[in-house]
Structure 1
Amino acid sequence: IPDTGVVCKGQFEGKEVIGIRLNWDKRYITLAPVATVLGLAFKLYDPENLLGDKEDIGITCALIPTSHEGVQIGDRHFPMNMAFMNGTTYGKDVFIPLEWVIGGPAYVGRGWRMLVECLSAGRGISLPALGTATGHLATRMTGAYAYVRQQFGLSIGKFEGVQESLGRIGGLTYSLEAMRVMTAGAIDLKLSPSVVTAIAKYHMTEMSRTLLNDSFDIHAGRAIQCGPKNYLAHGYMGVPISITVEGANILTRNLMIFGQGATRCHPYVLKELEAAANPDSEAGLKQFDELLMKHVGFALGNTFGALFQGLTGGLLNSSPVAGETAKYYKQLTRMSNGLALCADFSMLMLGGDLKRKEMLSARLGDVLSHLYIASAVLKFYEDNGRQVADLPFVHYSVQRNLYEIGRAFAGFFSNFPNRLVGKLLKGLVFPFGINYQLPDDEMAMQISDALLKPSVIRDRLTHLCYLGEGENDPTGSMEQAFLAVHAAQPLMKKIFQAQKDGKIARKLPLDVTIRKAAEVGVLTDDEVAQLEQMNKLRFAAISVDSFKPGELEARALQA
């Protein structure tokens, strides 16, 4: 943090008080151009020892009204051509009273913990919400488009290549919704789950990036033509913003998830560090020795436990539920044991070097992350009444998580600095090899089929998707076309039968086919009107925006 504050005396509201003279110059600050209160982190120094005998006090946080003399805001960035309020703020020799420090004078130098806790709450709400909303929109609209859009006389959703991508969109959206509910629930309980929110921030933004790419692939040219009819483009352009803000994803994955999780989630490491820092050395040493013995016992238990789990494949583990998902609880227990073993060995053999082995610790973070995601999915399934329609989504999500856990472990074992220890750990955790597989094609097809028809699971999984009511609203237009095409299927079957019987020629445009069907008595007048309305809605839904020569240039000049 390059921004600084110096404790000194100064004038505030006509009185001389002890305060802080600040200098800062920040960029990329969310909402800075329109903020009324500025949250500022800076390094605090006390050269005159006004607060005590310590000169370098450390990172401190303060809340400063933006109307305060010397505070400069207003300039904004233009991230990815989006209306995202993000900008600069700076101040030179700005004096503030000491009471503006968050927590008051007693909390000077304690800003790092505040930053971590504030960041954990913020990144656990805004960015996961954005990722989930992206999933809801992409799932509902892509499923509708894949059904409405036809090629070679078939909805493109019937092609297996499209089903593979649509299955991935649905599976990832189910994981996103499960993580959103679980993570936001923890924050609602007044918790500050820094590790969990780091997991949510990284994986939910990455999942939204993946499913948006799949959605673009399915929409093809419909997705890249910007204009009022496009419901995907702006979200796609905004993805890099969510990837980079609140701790860039590279930083989050490589430094924060396992870096914080290794101490916060371990039953003894954090307590050992606190014991080592105890100012009462005798009491600290006694406490440390007791914890160390427990830690050794914990590590030995994990070693034999991991081997037992590996030899039995986790089949003897207990499960809190019965049915199709019971096997997943057993595997998550097994992988949790394996992670505990590998984390202990890593900290024991690498010590402080582990934080510099970022690719290695990131893989352990991946294991922890996918254990959390799979747990969220299983809890979400249970909390929603174990709906049978959810099972393909649950299977897809958890199988994907287990596969990613296996892949992360494989990279960890093969890249462990001591290759002999790496092989030993692999032999303990996976004595018969890593056998987790990605969800099979049938699973993707089941998810795709669920998204290609009106259903309760489709509505529950996409309930955050905005659907406009007017024909000119792009999401409303697509949804109306989707429902109309579905409702028209019995009439289309009558036409197909007539074509098979030779009453109507094949390969005619649909509007011509409808008229021919009416002429030969296959369709009534009401049925003709229904099909013509369906065809009108379908054409409007798959159409894209176009602009007259000079229209875009004129808009640019007006802007």
Structure 2
Amino acid sequence: MFSMILNKLDKAKVLPRISDTERQALNAGSVWIDGELFSGNPDFRSMMEEAYPALPPEEQAFLDGPVEELLRRVDHWELHNTRRVPDEIWTFLREQGFFGLIIPKAYGGSGFSTLGRSAVMMKTAQLGPVGTLVVIPNTLGAAELLIGYGTEAQKSHYLPKLASGEFVPCFGLTEPTAGSDAASIRAEAVVFKADDGQLKLRLNFTKRYITLAPIANLVSLACQLHDPDNLLGGGEQPGITVVLLEKGTPGLRLGDHHLPIGPFDNGPIHGEDVVVPADNIIGGPTQAGQGWRMLMEQLGGGRAVSLPAGGVASAKAAAAAVGPYSMVREQFGIPIGWMEGVTAKVARTAALAYVLESSRVYVCAGVDAGHHPPVVSAILKQQTTELGQQLLIDGMDVMAGAGVMQGPNNILGSAYISAPVSVTVEGANILTRTLMIFGQGAVRCHPYALATLGALENKDVRAFRKALLGWMGHSIANVGRGVVRGLTRGATVKAPVADETARYFKKLGWASTRFALLTDLAMFCVGGKLKQRGQLSGRFADALSWMVFGVTTLRRFHAEGARKEDLPVVHWALKYCLLEIQRAFEGIYANFDTPVVGWMLRYPGRFFLKINPLSSGPGDAEDRRVAAAIQTPGEQYQRIALGGLGSPRDDEPGMGRLLHAWRLVSDSAEPQMRVKKAMRHGKISAPDVVAAIEPALAAGIISADEAQRIRAAETARRAAIQVDVFDQADYYRDSLSRHNDNVHDGRDPGMARAANQ
């Protein structure tokens, strides 16, 4: 019977097929909390026991010392305009070991944890090209690949020089015809035997969008390896391979720039008949054809580091700015932060900054513990960069004119301009969401899908029988759980705590059961067409993402001691997470257009889904309490917003002067209220608070000390809301010509050229 079922399923192509590159991606990394959520019956106790650590003292000292000093040394506005990292900053980065955070101490590096590297990247994320200099050497590229796969000779030669900054690396992957579909690269390396008897590679390639390429002197190049004479013993087409190329190698061309919307060094790499020894393959000739596996294994955890750090930095920067600004800026005689529309934006920013930071710490700690979860890492990359961008937009909305006028005092403008970069790189978010997260998760994280597919492809009836029976039992159990949990609204789910957050564990468990049931329906009813149903897959990805965020938020709350003052933020955040899961389910039900099952989901299913929702989201009354968390100076503001981003001095433009004004305004708030009350009741006649200070002092409404505090606060307030002004000499640029008009290479001096010219 099972043989017949196997053959029918195979002919009908009910389940999705897996290509060789997809198989390597599926086999890379590990299943983690995502597997619990796909099970339909997650073990929240084990998920709450995952580490949520503070940084080791050595790494915290680096953040408080060299990283803080770097923030003070970099002139953001100068860097934004010149796009050139000053020599003294290069020297500081090298001397302080910024290039070797990922490299073990045995090779001259710092050997930082994943969480430590993420913290450094988050703190330097707003430094434009300087931040990029910190990120690239310490993420996917030469150092990480050499540590994981390099020969001892390669490690001994390259790692100390990478740690010292003598070698500046870049990673050559993207091509004009191979972007998110990185497996389709056309860069070619052909193996041949040279006259001296050595095995060598001849490479020809065109790469683009390569970060640090214009200033790099060591390239890790991904290419298709061809070995027509089988000299390496791995066949004529070993596959994708990573090869090290040093600047100065004949035929290798570096130095040209693209012009990203956020300034950082990025450009093309060209190679024409570049010849290097076969020993330049990372891992040596025995690792020929293993490049795709290397990339997938490293991205399994690595995708959770750099880009999420930048996304979380954007969210925290938005929170750090809009909370204070909404209280410093007044209109109609009150802080704009008291207006409900603004309050809603501030509350959302505060809560989601809390959520995203929880995910960064939780997942980085998981990677440090030995997990390499590609699905969870993809969620972090897609969601943190997407939400970080959205929160910057909200921040610009709150700051209005002060947000869009550029200059040294603009706080969010540079991050806002640069945000699309993170959304598009390392797998564009639109494809990460609609193809990768659920497409990979449904097969890899499902308890029986991968085993069933393997048995189906291998025509292994015994393995197929075992996997299919297990899958059937899994589905039947989830049907039963789904009915019970739906009727009881998750009351039967075991929560690992007994406090008022227990309700959220129960609802997340209920959501997981529904998610698992819908996954099974999608696998069998949509089957092989799932790859083409990107919108449907994207909604599954959304549901999974917000379940992960719900778990990490609860873990943070309890790891930090279940602070009572954080409860309003946690309630808002969990209600929002559950609302997003609910919306994802509604989208799945509405667009599950298969016969019978689709009709049941679209009509009776959607009806019951709407009358028995997971959440209707946080209410308006909750916004006020959550917004207050970042509108009042103190430890809570530091933890949720500014913490991890640096400590601006009062005399610094932008954030420094805003925080200075905010503290003074907060300190004088109570006597100011007395003055304004007296003005409203006609006890004092004055056009504004400043003019009312002397009459209020004379009337005994405020003391001399309070008068001085109000005066200082109002002076600082007015300074903090000013924007930069430029004279004509600073504003206008007469041309785009090159600095040396005598060297045009046959082109007009102000014209760019195509990357392949």
Q: TM-score range by the shorter chain?
A: over 0.9
1:33 maps to 214
Do residues 509 (structure 1) and 688 (structure 2) align?
yes
TM-aligned CA deviation for residue 253 of structure 1: 0.5
C-alpha change, 1:9 and 1:52, in structure 2 (3 Å) is same
Q: For residues 234 and 390 of structure 2, what CA distance do their matches in structure 1 show? A: 53
Q: Give the 3-state SS of the residue equivalent to 1:42 in structure 2.
A: strand
Q: For residues 278 and 730 of structure 2, what CA distance do their matches in structure 1 show? A: 56
TM-aligned CA deviation for residue 370 of structure 1: 1.1
2:162 maps to none
Do residues 106 (structure 1) and 290 (structure 2) align?
no
1:60 maps to 241
TM-aligned CA deviation for residue 256 of structure 1: 0.7
Query: Which has the larger displacement, 123-132 or 549-558?
Result: 549-558
Do residues 337 (structure 1) and 516 (structure 2) align?
no
TM-aligned CA deviation for residue 548 of structure 1: 1.6
Q: Give the 3-state SS of the residue equivalent to 2:596 in structure 1.
A: helix
Q: Is the 8 Å Cα contact of residues 76 and 87 (structure 1) preserved in structure 2?
A: yes
C-alpha change, 1:53 and 1:496, in structure 2 (3 Å) is closer
Do residues 7 (structure 1) and 187 (structure 2) align?
no
TM-aligned CA deviation for residue 366 of structure 1: 1.3
Matches within 5 A, 1:238-277: 238-275=418-455
Question: Amino acid of the residue matched to residue 340 of structure 1?
Answer: A
2:560 maps to 384
Q: Is the 8 Å Cα contact of residues 243 and 281 (structure 2) preserved in structure 1?
A: yes
Q: Is the 8 Å Cα contact of residues 589 and 606 (structure 2) preserved in structure 1?
A: no
2:298 maps to 118
Q: For residues 653 and 647 of structure 2, what CA distance do their matches in structure 1 show? A: 8
2:160 maps to none
Query: Which has the larger displacement, 100-109 or 199-208?
Result: 100-109
Q: For residues 552 and 166 of structure 1, what CA distance do their matches in structure 2 show? A: 33
Q: 2:618 aligns with which of 427, 430, 439?
A: 439
C-alpha change, 1:499 and 1:264, in structure 2 (3 Å) is same
Q: Deviations over 1:206-253 (max 9, x none)?
A: 111111111111111111110011011001000111111111111110
Q: 1:367 aligns with which of 538, 543, 560?
A: 543
Q: For residues 423 and 620 of structure 2, what CA distance do their matches in structure 1 show? A: 30
2:675 maps to 495
C-alpha change, 1:46 and 1:260, in structure 2 (3 Å) is same
TM-aligned CA deviation for residue 492 of structure 1: 1.4
Q: For residues 189 and 733 of structure 2, what CA distance do their matches in structure 1 show? A: 49
TM-aligned CA deviation for residue 430 of structure 1: 8.2
1:405 maps to 581
Do residues 353 (structure 1) and 529 (structure 2) align?
yes
Question: Amino acid of the residue matched to residue 138 of structure 1?
Answer: A
Do residues 90 (structure 1) and 266 (structure 2) align?
no
C-alpha change, 1:133 and 1:289, in structure 2 (3 Å) is same
TM-aligned CA deviation for residue 495 of structure 1: 1.9
Q: Is the 8 Å Cα contact of residues 468 and 474 (structure 1) preserved in structure 2?
A: no
Matched length: 550
Q: Give the 3-state SS of the residue equivalent to 1:16 in structure 2.
A: coil
For structure 2, the 5+ residue unaligned runs are 1-184, 740-757
Q: Is the 8 Å Cα contact of residues 393 and 447 (structure 1) preserved in structure 2?
A: yes
TM-aligned CA deviation for residue 542 of structure 1: 0.7
Q: For residues 690 and 300 of structure 2, what CA distance do their matches in structure 1 show? A: 56
TM-aligned CA deviation for residue 182 of structure 1: 1.2
Q: 2:635 aligns with which of 456, 462, 466?
A: 456
C-alpha change, 1:51 and 1:465, in structure 2 (3 Å) is closer
Q: Give the 3-state SS of the residue equivalent to 2:470 in structure 1.
A: helix
Do residues 321 (structure 1) and 497 (structure 2) align?
yes
Q: Deviations over 1:475-514 (max 9, x none)?
A: 11111100101111232134235435644204x1333222
Query: Which has the larger displacement, 326-335 or 107-116?
Result: 107-116
Q: Deviations over 1:112-151 (max 9, x none)?
A: 2222233344431111111111122211211101001111
Query: Which has the larger displacement, 533-542 or 413-422?
Result: 413-422
1:21 maps to 202
Q: For residues 234 and 676 of structure 2, what CA distance do their matches in structure 1 show? A: 90
Q: Is the 8 Å Cα contact of residues 173 and 461 (structure 1) preserved in structure 2?
A: yes
Q: Is the 8 Å Cα contact of residues 443 and 450 (structure 2) preserved in structure 1?
A: yes
Question: Amino acid of the residue matched to residue 717 of structure 2?
Answer: R
1:161 maps to 341
1:221 maps to 401
Q: Is the 8 Å Cα contact of residues 3 and 41 (structure 1) preserved in structure 2?
A: yes
Matches within 5 A, 1:270-309: 270-275=450-455, 284-309=460-485
C-alpha change, 1:394 and 1:91, in structure 2 (3 Å) is same
Q: Deviations over 1:365-414 (max 9, x none)?
A: 11111111111111111111111111122112221111111111121122
Q: For residues 609 and 423 of structure 2, what CA distance do their matches in structure 1 show? A: 37
Q: 1:540 aligns with which of 719, 730, 742?
A: 719
Q: For residues 276 and 53 of structure 1, what CA distance do their matches in structure 2 show? A: 28
C-alpha change, 1:461 and 1:297, in structure 2 (3 Å) is same
Q: For residues 136 and 555 of structure 1, what CA distance do their matches in structure 2 show? A: 38
Q: Is the 8 Å Cα contact of residues 675 and 696 (structure 2) preserved in structure 1?
A: yes
Q: For residues 514 and 5 of structure 1, what CA distance do their matches in structure 2 show? A: 78
Q: For residues 438 and 432 of structure 1, what CA distance do their matches in structure 2 show? A: 15
C-alpha change, 1:117 and 1:502, in structure 2 (3 Å) is same
Question: Amino acid of the residue matched to residue 541 of structure 1?
Answer: A
Query: Which has the larger displacement, 87-96 or 416-425?
Result: 416-425
1:171 maps to 351
Q: Deviations over 1:141-181 (max 9, x none)?
A: 11101001111111111111111111111111111111111
Question: Amino acid of the residue matched to residue 438 of structure 1?
Answer: G
For structure 1, the 5+ residue unaligned runs are none
Q: For residues 564 and 705 of structure 2, what CA distance do their matches in structure 1 show? A: 38
C-alpha change, 1:191 and 1:546, in structure 2 (3 Å) is same
Q: Give the 3-state SS of the residue equivalent to 1:56 in structure 2.
A: coil
Q: For residues 312 and 601 of structure 2, what CA distance do their matches in structure 1 show? A: 36
Q: Is the 8 Å Cα contact of residues 342 and 425 (structure 1) preserved in structure 2?
A: no
Query: Which has the larger displacement, 294-303 or 536-545?
Result: 294-303
Q: Is the 8 Å Cα contact of residues 21 and 93 (structure 1) preserved in structure 2?
A: yes
C-alpha change, 1:311 and 1:66, in structure 2 (3 Å) is farther
TM-aligned CA deviation for residue 57 of structure 1: 2.3
C-alpha change, 1:291 and 1:472, in structure 2 (3 Å) is closer
Q: For residues 467 and 18 of structure 1, what CA distance do their matches in structure 2 show? A: 55
C-alpha change, 1:387 and 1:263, in structure 2 (3 Å) is same
Q: For residues 536 and 240 of structure 1, what CA distance do their matches in structure 2 show? A: 37
Q: For residues 119 and 86 of structure 1, what CA distance do their matches in structure 2 show? A: 21
2:389 maps to 209
Query: Which has the larger displacement, 488-497 or 456-465?
Result: 488-497
Q: For residues 32 and 4 of structure 1, what CA distance do their matches in structure 2 show? A: 19
1:422 maps to 598
Do residues 394 (structure 1) and 570 (structure 2) align?
yes
TM-aligned CA deviation for residue 191 of structure 1: 2.9
Question: Amino acid of the residue matched to residue 7 of structure 1?
Answer: V
Q: Is the 8 Å Cα contact of residues 40 and 61 (structure 1) preserved in structure 2?
A: yes
Q: For residues 246 and 607 of structure 2, what CA distance do their matches in structure 1 show? A: 57
TM-aligned CA deviation for residue 415 of structure 1: 1.4
Q: For residues 70 and 514 of structure 1, what CA distance do their matches in structure 2 show? A: 74
TM-aligned CA deviation for residue 274 of structure 1: 4.2
